[in-house]
Structure 1
Amino acid sequence: MAPTIDYSAIPGNSHLVTVNEHKKNGEQRAEVILIPAPSDDPDDPLNWTPIRKWVSVACVLIYTLATCIPTAAIYSVLPNIEANTNITLGELNNGTGYMFLFLGIGCLFFQPLALQYGKRPVYLFSTLATALICVWPPYTKSNGEWIASKILQGFVASSVESLPEISMSDLFFEHERSFALSLYGLTLLSASYLAPFVAGFISQGQGWEWVMWWCAIFAAVCFVVLFFLMEETNFDRKLKVDKHTGELLKLTSRKEQLGAVSTTIDGALGQRDQNDEKTDFESNEQGSSSQSSNLPTNALANEVSNIEVVNSSTYVPANLRTKTFWEKLSLFSGKKDKFLLHHYALAPFFMARFPVVLWAGFLYGSSLVWFNVLNATAALILSESPYNFSSSTIGVAYLSPTIFTVIMFFISGFCSDWLKLRIAVWRGTGLSKPEDRLWILVCYCVLGCGSCILWGVGAYYEIHWFGLVFGMGLLGGCGIFAIAAAASYIVDTYKELDTEAMVVMILIRNCMSFGVSYGITDWVTNLGYKNCFISVAFLCFAANLTFLPMVIFGPWLRNRQKHMYWSMVDKYRRLGMH
């Protein structure tokens, strides 16, 4: 059945909870609606067992470590590289700028490949290629060789910028998504900070060349792990609806297959009465009239392209078993039957017409700007008088942003999902908007501005090293707010075309990063630490405060462009892309 898309639906708006039911004691009951709706196929990633899901998550995080650590490991040893080569510190920073640029450009190449042939082969190629390219930088002696090695490294590792977010959205429902994305952000930032920490000791004990060689060994080990454990999450979801009741058919044992999913708002918020859990769950399984189990077909039509009306009394699922271990090792289980690579390559450019996507890219990019300013000045500030940190001690200083990233992860991950659910309840209708998550950026506005001043102005006045390390940690840890907010905003708003939208966001982010990395040395040199970081602080504050206009005008923009968006969805579904 080819369902008709509802063009009047506003992308991103969803009825996330039902608030009109009551428990046996007469209290109001709010039940979470599972979005997107899971199918009755046990190999649907939304239906995977908790162990299977979290193994897949662990593999995505391992891949993130394998590609992120080599890109960040050199930050604490830049002075050592400058001392042992003919490359100046400014040229080294320019090279890392080119790397970040191609981390974005590469998404235009690898993202279509992942959609056409599967995410698993792209993950594996990216990991192996990173391992091989890490062998090259220690042999570079000129600026041209350094830039070439960084461009190639950024290009082959570019999948780390966009595929993990999409894999998380493949595995989790809307009300769980921010926690998973924050977990990815935690790994991304922690790896970026821990790599210089370890690299400082390696450089001091074995020389800076071994920093990259150990990165190559680490990435090679990760490749072996991913080859045997990583599953494909590309899935052609087909929903079955009972023709008599209109209910969506799911797996017969929801409790076993979706044991990790909270099915009530109180349970998701950790406030559910344990005595009512079994009764509420059973009432949902027995066909209650709640929207979570009785979604109308016209609402499902906007979620998925293939809906079949069946007779539940005679219907027999085609797939009653999960894949075997050897089937999971297939490199092309996610391959599309039709060749659509050129359509996948062009689609991101059409998604650039949506202001929501452009703003998410700006938010994500601005967060990376402060990250790059921090990395480019850390070795410079801490190695000079009065601090005189060695390369290993500079590496130890990177433990500070690692610790703060873990702290901010809990604030970002849990509070963002909590806000989305709680605001939907506060509205009284269960309506949820993508902008609901953005209020978490209030923390970034305040903490980001303060930490920039503490780091830069503190260095100018030569305050105690603890103040600098504290400011460094706070500034680095706050980056997780933008990662979770930007990625979840795009996925919540344009879930049907989130992979294409993510490419646009990452391209904007990395172009901004390249621009700042290319000019950061002159910025700091010409303005000095004090004036440079005062400007950085208020730019950080202003950039994050732009979430307020999006909260106000975002719903209007989404409503204004709904016909354009659903026309794209309809076109790509007819082509067989989604």
Structure 2
Amino acid sequence: MAELPVPGTVQQVDDSHFTSGIRRDARRTDIILIPQPSDHPDDPLNWSKWRKRVSDLGHNVYTFGVVIMVSSYTPANLKIQAATGIPVADINTGVGIYFLFIGYSNLIWQPLAINYGRRPVLLASILLVIVQALWQAYCTTTGEWYANRALMGISAGPVETLLELVVADLHFSHERGAWLSVYVWILFSGSFLSCIPAGFVADALGWQWIEYIVCIIGAAFFVWLFFTFEETAFYRPDVVSAETIGVGNGKVDTDDVETPRAEAKYTDEKRLGETPMGHNSDAGTTALDRASDIVGTPKPYWRRLSILSGYDRRRKSNVWRNAYISIAILRFPAILYSGLLVAMSLSWYNVVNGTLPTILGKEPYNFSANIIGVFYVAGIIGVTFGSYFGGALSDRVAIYMARRNGGVFEPEHRLWIFLIALIVHPLGCLLFGVGAAHHIHWVGLAFGLGFFCVTLPMGSSVAYNYILDSYKEVAGEGLVSVVLIRNTIGFGFAYAILPMIDALGVQDAFILLTFLGLFVWCLTFVMLIFGKRFRKWTARAYWELVEEQGLRVH
């Protein structure tokens, strides 16, 4: 029996153009496109530049809308306590409840999106988030607050796992990091950005008006999404698997790979906005070795906005089967590592949200809600740097490492970027936490917060990409697995952060976080050494899952 391909090990670079029958990047012709696009104009990998940009804008609008509706109230924590009697500790516990429910809700949301399409799930989610944000303005007891946070978590579930899948729908692996970093930047910075005006709104109009305003914005975003965000799910079971391209023998024969052909062939490239050879100029795709015409008739606009346009009967899976897979692959080491990494990123984010208003709102700083909101600018700056490191720079590092490895890309190549985190994480923790305990000038705290926040998007974007690179055919389920780990741990941190600080003090609590962070970042060296062995060990289980779902095994 032939040895099974190692999941995630792919021929990414081919300087000699020895590998035949595959599509490459039009600008950098030595880079092989992973995944290989199909021949159909409705394949999102074949979309024109403007069409991709509209979809990119759409899913990022959804992300920003959900984030601001979920977290804009944070600078007004003390005002909420004064107006409702809900203790700040209970408000922070609500954050943990939110993250717990957002994780487990994806056992339903993500399988629905995989089987029936991304579009209906995003539209339903943002509508439900609007309802919960409006209700939050009328919560007056701890019980109501907890119930609202639980339902908000269920409503906002897709913002944690589905957007990574949409990015993978639209972009090739060598460009995915940059686009994923935009999403992660919005995920973290969106809450910081919204906190800046929210503080002023709370001081001028009352904290409830934060919720009223974000609900109006959310409703506008829903209308935009309904008319502009089209389905990105596309079923391509007969395209050659990335793991079989050029690995081992430098060549793959695609003559026997059958691609479905529609009866009507579409040849009007100008109308599609496609380049010759039937591929779009944005992705820069071309077929240097394989001449392949665009086939099939693209769907008209009204059909692309159909609620169930992403459903394909050929897929041999269902909602419950996909939910089971998310649990089953928790035994994969790459999933466990990524989950722990993203969990710590979320936990550090919860630490910031849980401690910043308390630290700055009391002696010796005594900042008002609006100034606390402005203070989040430091976090935004840190997240911006971290998004670049974990996104565009990780793409460059991955290609560089693949070139050094004879053109073969390993998902662990992206992990080298975490050397930066080993430096900035302890620096940020100690400067912010220990500095606050010793009442240093607020400028020092701002720098500490900035360094601290650099690692937030790095951990998330690289870990998500690691799953997409390693187990791309079950990546949707794998992202759910990661979020289950992340949000279970995040719930514990959100629930315990203030009691921990009360028990240990700010200084000792942040010293503890420093060493916890260093431990997690140092696990990266284990994956750099043994990651491929782990993936080889899971190969049989992975390819069996792929075949069971009616995907490709070539």
- How far apart in 1 are the matches of 2:491 and 2:276? 47
Answer yes or no: is 1:69 the counterpart of 2:65. no
Does the 8 Å contact 1:20/1:30 carry over to 2?
Answer: no
What's the counterpart of residue 446 of structure 2?
Answer: 469
Identity of aligned residues (%): 36
- How far apart in 1 are the matches of 2:404 and 2:391? 20
- How far apart in 1 are the matches of 2:40 and 2:542? 28
Letter in 1 for 2:82: A
CA drift of 1:240 comes to 7.0
- How far apart in 2 are the matches of 1:46 and 1:248? 19
Answer yes or no: is 1:230 the counterpart of 2:229. yes
CA drift of 1:325 comes to 1.8
CA drift of 1:248 comes to 8.9
CA drift of 1:339 comes to 7.4
Answer yes or no: is 1:9 the counterpart of 2:5. yes
Answer yes or no: is 1:260 the counterpart of 2:282. yes
Gaps in structure 1 of 5+ consecutive residues: 23-28, 264-280, 288-292, 295-311
- How far apart in 1 are the matches of 2:420 and 2:327? 32
Does the 8 Å contact 1:7/1:563 carry over to 2?
Answer: no
Does the 8 Å contact 1:453/1:534 carry over to 2?
Answer: yes
What's the counterpart of residue 181 of structure 1?
Answer: 180
Match of 2:527 among 550, 555, 560: 550
Superposition map of 1:4-83 within 5 A: 8-21=4-17, 31-83=30-82
SS state at 2:505 partner = helix
Q: Summarize deviations over 1:393-429 as a string: whole Å, max 9, x none.
A: 00000111112222332232221011111111112x2
- How far apart in 2 are the matches of 1:387 and 1:520? 21
Match of 1:490 among 460, 467, 482: 467
Q: Summarize deviations over 1:190-237 as a string: whole Å, max 9, x none.
A: 102112212101101110011111121111111000000001111111
- How far apart in 2 are the matches of 1:187 and 1:240? 33
CA drift of 1:61 comes to 0.4
Answer yes or no: is 1:434 the counterpart of 2:416. no
CA drift of 1:345 comes to 2.3
Q: Summarize deviations over 1:161-215 as a string: whole Å, max 9, x none.
A: 0000000001111111111111111111110211221210110111001111112
What's the counterpart of residue 372 of structure 1?
Answer: 350
What's the counterpart of residue 333 of structure 1?
Answer: 309
CA drift of 1:30 comes to 6.9
Letter in 1 for 2:335: V
The 3 A distance-change label for structure 1 pair 174 and 243 is closer
What's the counterpart of residue 307 of structure 1?
Answer: none
Superposition map of 1:413-432 within 5 A: 413-427=391-405, 429-432=406-409
- How far apart in 1 are the matches of 2:374 and 2:254? 65
Does the 8 Å contact 1:408/1:480 carry over to 2?
Answer: yes
Q: Summarize deviations over 1:278-307 as a string: whole Å, max 9, x none.
A: xxx7xx64x3xxxxx49xxxxxxxxxxxxx
SS state at 2:186 partner = helix
Does the 8 Å contact 2:429/2:511 carry over to 1?
Answer: yes
Letter in 2 for 1:163: L
SS state at 1:232 partner = coil
The 3 A distance-change label for structure 1 pair 541 and 357 is same
Tell me the TM-score normalized by structure 2.
0.89
SS state at 2:178 partner = helix
Q: Summarize deviations over 1:366-406 as a string: whole Å, max 9, x none.
A: 11111111110000000111111000000000111112222
Match of 1:324 among 282, 290, 300: 300
CA drift of 1:350 comes to 1.3
- How far apart in 1 are the matches of 2:232 and 2:517? 36
- How far apart in 1 are the matches of 2:166 and 2:530? 29
Letter in 2 for 1:261: A
Superposition map of 1:135-534 within 5 A: 135-237=134-236, 239=238, 253-254=275-276, 257-262=279-284, 285=288, 287=289, 293=290, 318-319=295-296, 321-337=297-313, 340-427=318-405, 429-534=406-511
The 3 A distance-change label for structure 1 pair 84 and 6 is farther
The 3 A distance-change label for structure 1 pair 184 and 240 is closer
Gaps in structure 2 of 5+ consecutive residues: 19-27, 241-251, 262-266, 270-274
Q: Summarize deviations over 1:267-287 as a string: whole Å, max 9, x none.
A: xxxxxxxxxxxxxx7xx64x3
The 3 A distance-change label for structure 1 pair 256 and 532 is same
- How far apart in 2 are the matches of 1:340 and 1:181? 27
Superposition map of 1:566-577 within 5 A: 566-573=543-550
What's the counterpart of residue 110 of structure 2?
Answer: 111
Does the 8 Å contact 1:50/1:257 carry over to 2?
Answer: no
CA drift of 1:257 comes to 2.9
- How far apart in 2 are the matches of 1:461 and 1:244? 66
Does the 8 Å contact 1:39/1:238 carry over to 2?
Answer: no
- How far apart in 1 are the matches of 2:358 and 2:547? 53
